[in-house]
């Protein structure tokens, strides 16, 4: 409770820093949550849902839910989709919905590039009924006693390239800096994402997939995820992710503790059937919150046609 109330104090300070975008560990299984150009990349109709409980056991800790649906039109060139997000941290909630579209071009029999955009709205809500103004933790500032909300538009864009074994993507969120009239409600700053990965064959039954994600807003330290997976018969995936912060584009103060951003995650994915996927991750923050682990569960379902022989080709990305 102490850490969350302290966060609320920062949230309600007269000068408000922009809220960070919701964090997911299992974006690895569905990059549409960070890159709209990924829409339709599996060339089949897909539904994915994710629930994340961060710092489980800590009152007021962040919780997030994401739902996405995407597919490809008959001509194979246009990907369309929909995504929704609910993110709650302390007294602030973000509820957003987006329509996604991507244009896919075949560069060869095995390589494709896509350009995608997403547009939608995000509602930001601050629930002042959960605060205790004047306490020793939350400063006595002009805070609302009820619920304050802002509805703002949002635009995202990205590029995604993939072959059967390699992928690379670049995207940006919050492209247009829409600002609400309520200065107490924090909205995410513009975020940039760069991701890439490759699949190696170790044996007929075993593959190795390393990947990375770089996230930056150019206002603080860069976030880097280093991931690796072993895939057994393309049905069982298990591996881990190491998340850290690096002063890539910003020179940080000498006393800034980059290691406080570090975290480690164990991740597993199981294909119960060719259509049904289950995923789970267990995150440990390598700082003062290490006693509060994070749990994330995801489920995905792919709709195959009876005559579709593409079920024989594994989809690694």
Kind of pairing, strands 112-127 and 147-162? antiparallel
Distance CA 213, CA 166 (A): 14
Q: Is residue 12 in some structural domain?
A: no
Each residue's pLDDT tens digit, 4-13: 444 444 444 3
CA 79 to chain centre: 20
Please, which pLDDT band fits residue 203 given cuts at 50, 70 and 90?
very high
Element of type H or E holding 2: helix 2-11
User: Which among 114, 121, 180, 182 has a CA at the least distance from the CA of 156?
Assistant: 121
Q: Is residue 110 in some structural domain?
A: yes
**DSSP 8-state secondary structure symbol assigned to residue 175:** -
Contact 225, 204 (CB under 8 A): no
Distance CA 135, CA 194 (A): 42
Distance CA 72, CA 43 (A): 5
Kind of pairing, strands 78-89 and 112-127? unpaired
The backbone region for 110, taken as left when phi is positive above 0, alpha when psi lies in -120 to 50, beta otherwise, is alpha
Distance CA 140, CA 133 (A): 5
Distance CA 201, CA 216 (A): 32
Quick one: pLDDT at residue 289?
81
**DSSP 8-state secondary structure symbol assigned to residue 22:** P
Any bridge partners for residue 240, and if so which? 228, 266
Query: pTM, whole model, 2 decimals?
Result: 0.85
> Mean pLDDT over residues 272-295, rounded?
90
User: Which among 75, 28, 102, 23 has a CA at the least distance from the CA of 315?
Assistant: 28
Each residue's pLDDT tens digit, 130-178: 766 555 444 545 566 677 788 888 899 999 999 999 999 999 998 887 6
List the end-to-end C-alpha distance of the chain, in Å, as a whole number.
Answer: 39
User: Which among 299, 241, 303, 239 has a CA at the least distance from the CA of 50?
Assistant: 299
Residue 43 belongs to domain with CATH number: 2.40.160.40
Q: Is residue 2 in some structural domain?
A: no
Q: Is residue 8 in some structural domain?
A: no
Please, which pLDDT band fits residue 182 given cuts at 50, 70 and 90?
low
User: Which among 161, 64, 157 has a CA at the least distance from the CA of 105?
Assistant: 161
CA 198 to chain centre: 20
Q: Is residue 63 in some structural domain?
A: yes
Report the domain count for the chain. Answer: 1
Quick one: pLDDT at residue 135?
52
Each residue's pLDDT tens digit, 81-128: 999 999 988 788 889 999 999 999 999 988 999 999 999 998 888 877
Q: Is residue 6 in some structural domain?
A: no
Is the pLDDT score of 261 beyond 90? Answer: no
Q: Is residue 16 in some structural domain?
A: no
CA 142 to chain centre: 33
Quick one: pLDDT at residue 11?
46
Contact 138, 130 (CB under 8 A): no
Average pLDDT over the chain, rounded to an integer = 82
Quick one: pLDDT at residue 7?
47
Contact 292, 57 (CB under 8 A): yes
Q: Is residue 164 in some structural domain?
A: yes
C-beta neighbour count of 50 within 10 angstroms: 24
Q: Which domain holds residue 152?
A: 27-302
Is the pLDDT score of 280 beyond 90? Answer: yes
CA angle 154, 159, 161 (to 5 degrees): 150
Quick one: pLDDT at residue 200?
96
Each residue's pLDDT tens digit, 13-72: 333 334 556 678 888 888 998 999 999 988 889 999 999 999 888 877 889 999 999 999
Handedness of CA 17, 18, 22, 24 (dihedral sign): negative
């Amino acid at each position: 409770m102490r850490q969350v109330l302290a966060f609320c104090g920062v949230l309600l300070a007269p000068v408000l820093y922009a809220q960070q975008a919701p964090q997911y560990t299992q974006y690895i299984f569905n990059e549409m949550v960070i890159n709209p150009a990924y829409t339709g990349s599996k060339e089949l109709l897909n539904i994915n849902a994710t629930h994340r409980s961060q710092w489980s056991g800590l009152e007021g800790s962040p919780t997030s839910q994401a739902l996405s649906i995407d597919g490809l039109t008959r001509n194979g060139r246009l990907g369309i989709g929909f995504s929704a997000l609910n993110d709650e941290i302390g007294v602030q909630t973000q509820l957003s919905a987006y329509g996604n579209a991507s244009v896919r071009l075949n560069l060869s029999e095995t390589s494709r590039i896509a350009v995608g955009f997403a547009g939608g709205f995000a509602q930001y809500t601050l629930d002042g009924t959960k605060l205790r103004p004047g306490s020793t933790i939350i400063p006595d500032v002009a805070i609302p006693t009820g619920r304050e909300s802002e509805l703002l538009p949002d635009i995202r864009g990205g590029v995604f390239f993939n072959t059967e074994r390699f992928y690379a993507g670049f995207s940006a969120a919050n492209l247009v800096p829409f600002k609400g009239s309520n200065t107490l409600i924090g909205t995410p700053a513009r975020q940039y994402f760069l991701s890439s990965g490759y699949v190696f064959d170790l044996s007929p039954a075993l593959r190795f997939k390393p990947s990375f994600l770089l996230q930056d807003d150019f206002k603080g330290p860069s976030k880097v995820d280093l991931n690796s997976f072993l895939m057994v018969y393309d049905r069982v995936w298990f591996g881990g992710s190491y998340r850290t912060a690096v002063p890539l584009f910003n020179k940080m103060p000498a006393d800034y503790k980059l290691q406080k951003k570090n975290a480690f995650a164990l991740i597993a994915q199981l294909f119960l059937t060719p259509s049904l996927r289950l995923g789970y991750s267990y995150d440990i923050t390598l700082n003062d919150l290490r006693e509060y682990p994070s749990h994330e569960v995801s489920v995905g379902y792919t709709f195959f046609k009876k005559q579709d022989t593409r079920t024989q080709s594994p989809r690694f990305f």
